[in-house]
Amino acid sequence: MLVVLLLSTISLCILAWMSGTSSPVAPRCRACRYPVDGLCRVRCPECGSDLHRAGAIRDRRFRPAWMFVGATTLALGLQVAWQVRWGSIEQMASTGALI
């Protein structure tokens, strides 16, 4: 049962993490993250990067991978706490591990 719950929790965390990997934000310079919304110049006023170059303007913010790590750690912690509370962890552990 622990394995099934663990695998389902991990797969749900992966699906949640992959479903919304980016969100739109105001356009920013990729080099220095200066907001370039409404600029009529070709260069970033902060760092001088060419804004007409492909990929120079960043308009999406990516969610950090640490959200997945945190969600998985939380789910595993809750599972272990539930197992310890109800005393069933002793039944699953080997005798050598308990001694």
Q: Within this chain, do residues 75 and 98 fall inside the same structural domain, yes or no? A: yes
pLDDT, tens only, 6-46: 777 777 767 666 655 555 677 888 888 888 888 887 888 88
- Let me know the angle formed at the C-alpha of 10 by 9 and 12, rounded to the nearest 5 degrees: 65
Parent domain of 50: 23-63
Length of the chain: 99
Instruction: Report the number of distinct structural domains present in the chain.
Output: 2
Tell me, yes or no, whether 3 lies in a domain: no
Predicted confidence (pLDDT) at residue 86 exceeds the cutoff of 80: no
User: Among 86, 72, 58, which Cα is nearest to 15's?
Assistant: 72
Q: Within this chain, do residues 72 and 88 fall inside the same structural domain, yes or no? A: yes
Half-sphere exposure for 6 (CA within 13 Å, toward CB) = 8
